Structure 1
Amino acid sequence: MRTLDGRYRLEQRIGIGGMSEVWRAHDSVLDRPVAVKLMSPGQEGRDASVERIRTEARAAARLVHPNVASVHDFGTSSTLPGRPLPYIVMELAEGETLAAHLRAGPLDWRIAVRVCAEVSAALAAAHAHGIVHRDVKPANVMLTPAGVKVLDFGIATPAGAPDPTPDGLLVGTPAYLAPEQLDRAPATPAADMYALGVLLYYSLTGRLPYQAGTTTQLLGARRRRPPEPLPEVPGLPAEVAGLCADCLADDPARRPTSLMAALLLAEAVDARVYVPMLQSVPPRQREAVSPWTDRAAAEQTQAAALTDWSAAPAER
């Protein structure tokens, strides 16, 4: 058992990845459970890597949304002389990941659509702050008693920023990377929407929209042919199937925004989501409107655009 900076007592490792591991910990100052993500600095220069991770933590800390796991703190701990180990302290989201749920097979379409509506609402909050998540996948979606929590903004980046990783290295999970990411184009919110389309497809069918047994086969299949059409799901509204197809479009311009997707998916299951609305309200009215509003209020300002978008699938 270790304590970071005399404050965060590591209790149990609850997740591990290629560049990080996540621990359940206890914050002795505020006497509360937290999640601590220990991150391995890259090899491009440790000082630069630590600063990059600090910048990413600051960006994620700006997001205040019920479907985003909050970032509380950032620090470094020395494991060996001259080797600072960055860590990020986050809200401990109690529940089970979407990946764990999907091991038993596809979700009921109503649950799948509701989960993706909340994921899209979280992305809308990030995109409103100019942040692209870059790693939307079932393992980063936690299903809690209070709803969905989107985790791990560890490789998030400002929208449009050049990819800082070395040539030949793809950042993110290959099955969820948009086509332009495979070509190392700057990350945009449209890349997150491609990942949302894969997430929705997987949640509805229990499989990816590509047939491949290995990562190499997957990347080859993705470059050779488009995603397989979504099979018929009994009861699934046509507009949801259309949104899934549009999210998986090769052309980023054809993909819906996270705000539009959140509203359409929530409408399909009569759910409530929270989305940033200030950009949709005339400046003279902004002082009277909360920056966060529920689905009912969102519909009043977005109804015309949403109706036009869902009523003309042939034009998308």
Structure 2
Amino acid sequence: MGEVFLARTPSGRPLALKTVHRELSLEPDFADRFAREIRTNDRVRSPWTVSVVDFSPPGVLPQWLATEYVPAPSLGDWVRRHGPLPQPALWCLARELSAALVAVRGVGVVHRDIKPANVLLGPERPFLIDFGIARAVRDPRHTQTGAVIGTPGFLAPEQAVGAVAEAPADVFSLAAVLVYAATGHSPFLAGGEELSVPAVLYRIVHDEPVLDGVPGALLPLVRECLAKEPAARPTAEEVRARLGAAQDGDWSAAAPPALVADAGRRAAELRGLMTASQPAAGAPAGRGPGPLPPPPPPYAPTPTPTPTAGGTGSGTGGGPGAGWASRRRAVIGAAAGVVVLATAVTLAIVLHEGDGERGSSAASPPASSTAPSTAPSSPVSSAGSLPQTWVGTWSGVGPGTPNADGITRARTGEFAVTVTLNAGAVGEMVGKQVSNVKETSSGRDLGCTEALKLQQIKGNTAVFAAVTSHPSDRAASFDCPQGNLYVLKMESADRLTLEAEGAQSAGAPAALARNP
């Protein structure tokens, strides 16, 4: 489908930036398929999957998608270089991936391409990545009957004959991946054997799997999962129940020492790349120019370029009115400041045939190591709710832009922001943000008031989407930017900071304090 680049946000957060080949983008229905992929990715949020951070707006070429990045090898890469996993790591991998599959099923998604290249062996846990051909369980019309969707050697018999694959197909593929982790080959290929795609598909449909080398205790469950008939396979929930729950720390303890060392080396290399790519002193680092005054000339918004393969995109968007934001796109504001760091590798998403395991990209959760030791605990509940520690009213005052030229950027005084947060789950309205910032020359209030929806909560970081926006001064005639997202971090029980990858206006307060 395209290429993957290592990229970074202005604050140094690593991303996997996936760009789509131009000729594919020009296909009549590809834009809709790509949008569905993004929506599917964004629905699947768990400790074993990766988050969408930003993506291209409609109509932009090339299309791109930015996700979190994990500096770790894929299961396919590791087994090819080091051989099958030892039994403790194999069992732990089985528990972790079964938990991931339950999380995927919990939001009504079928992955449809579970394979060794789409399993990353992170230092803390494995990750299941690339939901690029996933479709909603109850929405099969987007999968063309008769088309083989998935990777030969790891897809289910119903996929091999071109039928619409539902949840049992993922259980089959999970078992095939575990066979690979235990033996070094697919259950339908002998070690070192190479067959044509039709021959592999024939074996999947008609032949029994080769399970020599699978540990005896795991063998019955694997054999049941590899049943030809979907109805004969256990569900993902049953698989997890039989394997046992995945416990925090189990994978770190069970992973081979060489894998732990490899993860450390990759992390060190990544830190070096992030340090070497820091923007020069005084560079804008991808932020917008700040609040702009209302429409009359000579004031005008500056367009926001889109990052492209092999290049840099800098977020320079602006608009009249000012919340904390100057961007108009309803996504997390990360890739607008992306700088490409590394040579492209092949994107490991296969729509019809072929393995595509030459490269892996994925994600790593936002680095918890960056959170200060004084930050309070903000655990994520099973429902993804805003912790009680966030509830309350928070306010801060920024310097505004008193030295702006008054043409390309409004000259303003103090920039006051008040955020009120209530309890609520991800997807629910949880509060509002009110900003007040006066233009020095006219005295007009250029601030905006926004209703906030909780988009994501992870550790001590939360993402809020502004679902409505209007001028704080109801008599004002300008339009406020729409669709801003804000990334807030709880630094202490009484202090919130605005992260660089969130939308932000020049002169806004960098932190908010809890009101008494």
TM score, norm. by length of structure 2: 0.44
Q: Decide which structure has greater helix share.
A: 1
Separation in structure 2 between the aligned mates of residue 44 and residue 22 of structure 1, nearest angstrom: 16
Tell whether 2:402 aligns with 1:291: no
Of residues 69-78 and 210-219 in structure 1, the stretch that sits farther from structure 2 once superposed is 69-78
Tell whether 2:191 aligns with 1:100: no
Residue 262 (structure 1) shift: 2.5
Residue 243 (structure 1) shift: 1.1
**Residue aligned with 2:56, SS:** strand
Residue 43 (structure 1) shift: 5.9
Separation in structure 2 between the aligned mates of residue 188 and residue 223 of structure 1, nearest angstrom: 16
Separation in structure 2 between the aligned mates of residue 237 and residue 71 of structure 1, nearest angstrom: 39
Unaligned runs of 5+ in 1: 1-18, 274-289, 294-316
Q: 1:37 to 1:268 in 2, by over 3 A?
A: closer
**Residue aligned with 1:190, SS:** helix
Which of 105, 113, 122 pairs up with 2:100? 122
**Residue aligned with 1:222, SS:** helix
Structural RMSD (CA): 3.0
Q: 1:44 to 1:171 in 2, by over 3 A?
A: farther
Q: 1:154 to 1:232 in 2, by over 3 A?
A: closer
Residue 167 (structure 1) shift: 6.0
Residue 183 (structure 1) shift: 2.3
Which of 52, 72, 75 pairs up with 2:53? 72
Separation in structure 2 between the aligned mates of residue 189 and residue 66 of structure 1, nearest angstrom: 20
Tell whether 2:157 aligns with 1:155: no
Residues 65-117 of structure 1 deviation map (CA, whole Å, 9 limit, x = unaligned): 11101111221598xxxx83221110101111111111122111221121122
Unaligned runs of 5+ in 2: 252-380, 385-516
1:54 corresponding residue in structure 2: 35
1:88 corresponding residue in structure 2: 65
2:6 corresponding residue in structure 1: 24
Identity of aligned residues (%): 34
Separation in structure 1 between the aligned mates of residue 246 and residue 125 of structure 2, nearest angstrom: 17
Q: 1:259 to 1:42 in 2, by over 3 A?
A: farther
**Residue aligned with 1:174, SS:** coil
Separation in structure 2 between the aligned mates of residue 200 and residue 217 of structure 1, nearest angstrom: 22
Separation in structure 1 between the aligned mates of residue 100 and residue 146 of structure 2, nearest angstrom: 30
Which of 154, 177, 181 pairs up with 2:159? 181
Residue 223 (structure 1) shift: 3.0
1:117–1:263 contact (8 Å) kept in structure 2 = no
Task: Letter of the 1:126 partner, please give it.
Answer: V
Separation in structure 2 between the aligned mates of residue 186 and residue 120 of structure 1, nearest angstrom: 22
Residue 292 (structure 1) shift: 6.7
Residue 140 (structure 1) shift: 0.7
**Residue aligned with 1:89, SS:** strand
1:42–1:49 contact (8 Å) kept in structure 2 = no
For 1:141-290, list aligned pairs within 5 A.
Answer: 141-162=119-140, 164=142, 169-211=147-189, 213-214=194-195, 215-228=197-210, 230-231=211-212, 233=214, 236=215, 238=217, 240-266=218-244, 290=381
Separation in structure 2 between the aligned mates of residue 24 and residue 128 of structure 1, nearest angstrom: 30
Which of 18, 38, 42 pairs up with 2:19? 38
Query: Quick one: higher RCO (CA 8 Å, sep 6+), 1 or 2?
Result: 2
2:175–2:226 contact (8 Å) kept in structure 1 = yes
Separation in structure 1 between the aligned mates of residue 16 and residue 246 of structure 2, nearest angstrom: 34
Q: 1:269 to 1:63 in 2, by over 3 A?
A: closer
**Residue aligned with 2:61, SS:** strand
Residue 244 (structure 1) shift: 0.5
Residue 231 (structure 1) shift: 2.4
1:161–1:187 contact (8 Å) kept in structure 2 = no
Of residues 32-41 and 114-123 in structure 1, the stretch that sits farther from structure 2 once superposed is 32-41
- Once superposed, which parts of structure 1, at least 4 consecutive aligned residues long, lie more than 4 Å away? 41-45, 165-168, 267-273
Residues 38-74 of structure 1 deviation map (CA, whole Å, 9 limit, x = unaligned): 1347869735311221122112112221110111122
**Aligned length, in residue pairs:** 251
1:177–1:191 contact (8 Å) kept in structure 2 = yes
TM score, norm. by length of structure 1: 0.70
Greater C-alpha Rg: 2
Residue 213 (structure 1) shift: 2.0
Separation in structure 2 between the aligned mates of residue 193 and residue 128 of structure 1, nearest angstrom: 14
**Residue aligned with 1:96, SS:** coil
Residue 203 (structure 1) shift: 0.9
1:96–1:144 contact (8 Å) kept in structure 2 = yes
Task: Letter of the 2:115 partner, please give it.
Answer: K
Q: 1:146 to 1:207 in 2, by over 3 A?
A: same
Residues 162-199 of structure 1 deviation map (CA, whole Å, 9 limit, x = unaligned): 36455654221011111111222222111101100101
